[in-house]
């Protein structure tokens, strides 16, 4: 009788595979309140690595970290009509505190544009105070009706940047810089994620923005996932909150603003873009543990050797963990590390010691081969970089092979239903065609130029719509 697979096969039931992997790789559990989650240490370790790299990139732009309150007066949200309308269905509202009904209800932040502007209006007085570049790492609450761990939860972790500039051009260019040089570079170079950089349509842009830039990635089942967004807010919030400055010419002017964010959704994207039927495949540059050294048996010489290998790899700059838990069967430990997607396993047993070798198992490329123990410290950095590139190449090949150019709404719907993406001229589709797509649970993920670049803020006929079903 065949042994049951550890995970539900992706081809059989992709959503079930995803839930199985989140559970068995010990990434997260459902929280006690519907839509919340408990991020377990291994999952949080991935988030910490993401935070560290992203935070450094954000600070390179001149942005500083700050913190704004979780609770926001409800009246703040009503000042920008489009903003409150966009978030109203997702708001969690507090009406009582300290055993008494509050004079004014407060909302648990769904995003911080309103409260940030309340303070920007105090901090910005003159052109000398600009640009004002602020970021915060925080949690937000958006009440989710159909929750799924990491992808759609009522509470999630993120960073949100908020900036104020003297001119439209400065704000536009800064939003584009975050989009490409922070989010794009991080996701490509660290997460090994393939994506399309584009601009949202008016129907899909952020509530209160004049332009939204997005990164859209194709998951293993062909659906799209929004990986991060950068918004040009124009002067909408500045007008509502009187965020203005005295210009060099001595005139009171409204600031131009941006906001931008990326979330723990990236962990879900990591699972769905790179995972396979054996579990996670974590990009080496991201991995908290790049290599695990496993003792096959509790032999004293074996234990001494795996610890020595661990020290050598650490000295070579590899993030390494030694697994000498020989009271747990080797097969179970190997499967657990495979589920967690650790890029490399170095397995050592008595027979390996006799030959002066260790068995090198590569999670991303697959396969095992004996390698001289003395060569591991010089070999592994090269192996890890090869596998980092391989993940990105595989993700890009999937998207390119499953994206088709179409000329009708019907063809676009068919492509999405078949588990792929479609590209259709915006002049052919237009807002009417976009509305028709929505009737089939298909959406325009972004607009790009004919050569795949990010288009200007207006919806010109020369743009191409990237169309897909989405999470």
Closest alpha carbon to 217 in 403, 354, 359: 403
Give the span between the Cα atoms of 254 and 442, in whole angstroms. 38
- Dihedrals φ, ψ of 368, to 5°? -130, 150
In the predicted structure, residue 84 carries a pLDDT above the cut 90: no
For 401-448, what is each residue's pLDDT tens digit? 999 999 999 999 999 999 999 999 999 999 999 999 999 999 999 999
Helix axes 14-24, 265-274, angle to 10 degrees: 110
Q: What is the percentage of the chain residues whose pLDDT exceeds 90?
A: 93
CA torsion, ordered 158, 162, 168, 174, to nearest 10 deg: -60
Beta strands in 40-131 (DSSP E): 64-65, 71-73, 92-97, 100-108
Closest alpha carbon to 166 in 232, 246, 60, 241: 246
To which residue do tokens 């929505």 refer?
A: 438
The H-assigned helical ranges of 154-297 are 168-177, 185-189, 236-241, 265-274
Three-class DSSP category at 140: strand
For 133-147, what is each residue's pLDDT tens digit? 999 999 999 999 899
The H-assigned helical ranges of 129-264 are 168-177, 185-189, 236-241
The answer to whether residues 290 and 342 touch, using CB atoms and an 8 Å cutoff, is yes
| Averaged pLDDT, 287-297 | 97
Mean pLDDT of the chain: 96
Q: What is the percentage of the chain residues whose pLDDT exceeds 70?
A: 99
Residue 85: the pLDDT is 78
In the predicted structure, residue 328 carries a pLDDT above the cut 60: yes
| Averaged pLDDT, 373-396 | 98
In the predicted structure, residue 4 carries a pLDDT above the cut 80: no
pLDDT-based confidence at 2, cuts 50/70/90?
low
The answer to whether residues 227 and 452 touch, using CB atoms and an 8 Å cutoff, is no
Closest alpha carbon to 17 in 27, 7, 26: 7
């Amino acid at each position: 009788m065949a042994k049951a697979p550890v995970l539900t096969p992706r081809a059989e039931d992709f959503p079930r595979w995803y839930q199985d992997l989140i559970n068995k790789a010990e990434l997260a559990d459902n929280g006690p309140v519907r839509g919340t989650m408990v991020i377990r240490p291994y999952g949080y370790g991935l988030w910490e690595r993401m935070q560290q790299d992203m935070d450094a990139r954000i600070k390179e732009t001149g942005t500083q970290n700050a913190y704004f309150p979780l609770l926001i007066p409800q009246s703040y949200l009503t000042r920008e009509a489009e903003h409150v309308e966009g978030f109203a269905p997702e708001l969690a509202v507090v009406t009582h505190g300290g055993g008494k009904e509050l004079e004014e209800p407060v909302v648990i932040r769904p995003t911080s544009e309103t409260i940030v502007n309340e303070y920007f209006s105090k901090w910005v007085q003159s052109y000398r105070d600009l640009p004002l570049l602020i970021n915060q790492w925080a949690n937000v609450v958006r009440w989710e009706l159909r929750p799924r761990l990491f992808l759609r939860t009522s509470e999630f972790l993120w960073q949100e940047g908020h900036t104020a500039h003297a001119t439209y051009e400065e704000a536009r260019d800064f939003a584009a810089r975050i989009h490409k040089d922070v989010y794009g570079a991080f996701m490509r170079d660290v997460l090994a994620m393939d994506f399309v950089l584009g601009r949202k349509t008016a129907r899909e842009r952020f509530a209160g923005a004049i332009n939204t830039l997005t990164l859209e990635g194709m998951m293993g089942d062909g659906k799209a996932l929004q990986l991060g967004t950068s918004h040009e807010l124009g002067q909408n919030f500045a007008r509502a909150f009187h965020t203005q400055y005295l210009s060099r010419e001595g005139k009171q002017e409204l600031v131009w603003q941006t906001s931008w964010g990326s979330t723990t959704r990236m962990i879900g994207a990591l699972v769905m873009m790179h995972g396979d039927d054996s579990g996670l495949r974590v990009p080496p540059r991201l991995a908290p543990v790049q290599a695990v050294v496993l003792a096959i048996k509790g032999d004293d010489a074996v234990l001494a050797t795996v610890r020595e290998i661990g020290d050598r790899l650490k000295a070579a700059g590899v993030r390494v963990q030694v697994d000498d838990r020989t009271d747990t069967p080797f097969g179970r430990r190997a499967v657990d590390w495979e589920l967690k997607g650790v890029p490399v396993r170095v397995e050592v047993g008595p027979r390996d010691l006799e030959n002066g070798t260790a068995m090198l198992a590569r999670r991303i490329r697959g396969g095992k081969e004996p390698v001289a123990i003395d060569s591991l410290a010089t070999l592994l950095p090269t192996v890890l970089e090869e596998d980092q590139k391989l993940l990105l190449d595989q993700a890009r090949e999937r998207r390119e092979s499953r994206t088709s150019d179409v000329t009708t709404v019907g063809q676009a719907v068919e492509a999405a239903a078949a588990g792929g993406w479609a590209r259709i001229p915006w002049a052919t589709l237009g807002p009417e065609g976009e509305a028709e797509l929505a009737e089939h649970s298909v959406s325009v993920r972004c607009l790009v130029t004919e050569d795949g670049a990010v288009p200007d803020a207006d919806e010109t006929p020369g743009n191409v719509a990237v169309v897909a079903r989405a999470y």
